[in-house]
Amino acid sequence: MATATASSAQSVARPKVRQTKMLIGGKWCDSVSGETFETFHPATEEKIADVARANAQDVDRAVKAARKAFEEGPWPAMDARDRGRLINKLADLLEQHAEELAALETLDNGKPIRDSKAADIPLVIDCLRYYAGWADKITGDTIPIRGNYFCYSRREPVGVVGQIIPWNFPALMVAWKWAPALATGCTIVMKPAEQTPLSCLRMAELATEAGFPPGVINIVPGFGDAGAALVKHPDVDKIAFTGSTETAQLIMRDAAQTLKRLTFELGGKSPNIVFADSDLDAAVAGAEFGLFFNQGQCCCAGSRLFVEESIHGKFVEKLVAKAKQRQLGDPFQLATTQGPQIDVDQFNKIMKYINLGKEAGAKCVTGGEREGKKGFFVQPTVFDEVTDDMAIATDEIFGPVLSVLPFKTFDEVIERANKSFYGLAAAVWTRDVTKAHKVAQAVRAGTVWINCYDVFDAAAPFGGFKMSGMGRELGEKALENYTEHKTVTMSLG
């Protein structure tokens, strides 16, 4: 595997960590218990900082602050256009601090700085601006009912929302969650992932600077117990969660007691289907990017690569050559295209699956080992001749491991693509327009890409069929997650 060896002139400096406390009711504070937890740089395994660790008491304090801001504060009652202006102001501040935020993301998560700079942070800013524009455009209907009445509907903020996010796109998940909630006038208690609290805390600091009223955004860094306390809290109206299907099942159980509104954005095992009539080089590039981007730590990773049999040999050859070009190394080097996995648990999980693939008889055509001795680096790995029943074809690995599955016919590949309890995303590569749209119709997934992969936009809804989620994020659809509909009927008699 290639190793990035650029000089320090071609690297970005490590940022200073400015904020490690929790934000409750506009104040930065320690936890009630005084406890902290450590966050690490995954490329060197070195400790970065100690962060205040929230427990159920801290979550309760944060929920009370959010409730107060919702009931008494200016936030939901503020002119919607002024709410939009504040969201735009936050976007401006984030833009001014884009370099710092990108470096912080790379420090805490380990992702290559070129990705943090070119993808994560620009998408964060774009998402906030998109929803800032929605703030004063959330309207109800007038409804023609029987009798002499005037009937109309209002859309009101759902209230205090608990938002629990993962570590794979820490800052971007903050934006996907905050932006629609703020546009609709909700107040927020957010728990970032224990591995990556730093960009969230810095963004909250900039939100305070932008002038969001105290209690509108509260941050409780911590572990699963803090997340569970948020889910169980009787004064939280809604939980928005991104993470694993297993944790979503726990959340659903815990939320039953208070019948909370829930939206889930979960895992996947997305089929990427390459037909023989596709532009091969484009499909190879899409297959490589669709799986290896973000170290394979994407819920929508194209991890089941179905390749039509007649081009299979040639395709795998090109794919392997492309995978071998990936530059593993220090994520602060601009030349690096693949950083480490997030932590030792994820690293061990991935290595376990690589071994399961080898034992099951799949052909490991490149990679398959740890890279280096320090940091959680895994070689870009491609398994060929994978069959549908192997664990590497059914389970979400969440790492740089791609399974190639040859197929013969259209009907066969659709049936096999849909044979998963996940349904988050899918892609198809072909020059035949009719075939492309037939796949788009037949495949059971929330997003289908045709001759492209991982194309995201704040305006385009994203979410899963089946066990990949509930509800949709992004676009106008996400506003539904944060509003209640109220029907008002007035007698005209």
Catalytic residues: 265, 299
- Contact set for ligand NAP, span 427-456 (CB under 6 A): none
- Contact set for ligand NAP, span 270-309 (CB under 6 A): 299
d(CA 103, CA 119): 13
Question: Minimum distance between the CB of residue 179 and ligand NAP, rounded to whole angstroms?
Answer: 17
Q: Which does 168 bind (CB under 5 to 8 A by kind): Mg ion, ligand NAP, none?
A: ligand NAP
# residues near ligand NAP by CB under 6 A: 27
- Contact set for Mg ion, span 206-235 (CB under 5 A): none
Q: Give the residue ranges of DSSP H helices in 162-244.
A: 170-184, 198-210, 224-232
Give the burial class of 451: count Cβ atoms within 10 A of its Cβ; 0-12 exposed, 13-18 middle, 19 or more buried.
middle
Q: Which stretch binds ligand NAP (CB under 6 A): 60-68, 166-174, 206-214, 282-290?
A: 166-174
164 interacts with ligand NAP by CB under 6 A? yes
Q: How many helices (H) and strands (E) does the chain have?
A: 16, 24
Question: Minimum distance between the CB of residue 227 and ligand NAP, rounded to whole angstroms?
Answer: 2
Mark 21-40 with x for binding to Mg ion (rule: CB under 5 A) and - for no binding: ------------------xx
Give every CB contact of residue 281 below 8 A, 6+ residues apart in sequence: 318
Q: Which does 108 bind (CB under 5 to 8 A by kind): ligand NAP, Mg ion, none?
A: Mg ion
Question: Minimum distance between the CB of residue 236 and ligand NAP, rounded to whole angstroms?
Answer: 12
Element (DSSP H or E) covering residue 122: helix 121-134
398 interacts with ligand NAP by CB under 6 A? yes
Q: Which does 39 bind (CB under 5 to 8 A by kind): Mg ion, ligand NAP, none?
A: Mg ion
| Closest listed residue to residue 162, CA positions, set 93, 238, 217, 65 | 238
Given candidates 223, 289, 410, 456, which one binds ligand NAP under the rule CB under 6 A?
A: 223
DSSP 290-323: HHHGGGG--TT---EEEEEGGGHHHHHHHHHHHH
Given candidates 19, 218, 242, 272, which one binds ligand NAP under the rule CB under 6 A?
A: 242
219 interacts with ligand NAP by CB under 6 A? no
250 interacts with ligand NAP by CB under 6 A? yes
166 interacts with ligand NAP by CB under 6 A? yes
Q: Which is nearer to ligand NAP, 225 or 281 (CB)?
A: 225
Give every CB contact of residue 330 below 8 A, 6+ residues apart in sequence: 4, 11, 43, 336
d(CA 380, CA 327): 10
129 interacts with ligand NAP by CB under 6 A? no
108 interacts with Mg ion by CB under 5 A? yes
Given candidates 247, 294, 430, 447, which one binds ligand NAP under the rule CB under 6 A?
A: 247
List the Cα angle 344/347/349 in 5-degree steps.
110
Q: Which is nearer to Mg ion, 340 or 367 (CB)?
A: 340
d(CA 97, CA 144): 50
- Contact set for ligand NAP, span 80-109 (CB under 6 A): none
Question: Minimum distance between the CB of residue 396 and ligand NAP, rounded to whole angstroms?
Answer: 4
Angle between helix axes 198-210 and 98-109 (nearest 10 degrees) is 160
Question: Minimum distance between the CB of residue 450 and Mg ion, rounded to whole angstroms?
Answer: 36
Token match 């023609």: residue? 144
224 interacts with ligand NAP by CB under 6 A? yes
- Contact set for ligand NAP, span 305-364 (CB under 6 A): 346, 349
194 interacts with ligand NAP by CB under 6 A? yes
Check if the beta carbon of residue 463 is closer than 8 Å to that of residue 268. Answer: no
Given candidates 1, 127, 135, 231, which one binds ligand NAP under the rule CB under 6 A?
A: 231
Residue 368 φ/ψ region, left for φ over 0, alpha for ψ in the -120 to 50 degree band, beta for the rest: left
Structure-block tokens of residue 63: 């929920």
Distance of CA 322 to the CA centre of its chain: 26
Check if the beta carbon of residue 469 is closer than 8 Å to that of residue 446. Answer: yes
Q: What is the contact surface with Mg ion in residues (CB under 5 A)?
A: 39-40, 108, 195
Q: What is the contact surface with ligand NAP in residues (CB under 6 A)?
A: 164-168, 191, 193-194, 223-224, 227-228, 231, 242-244, 247, 250-251, 265-267, 299, 346, 349, 396, 398
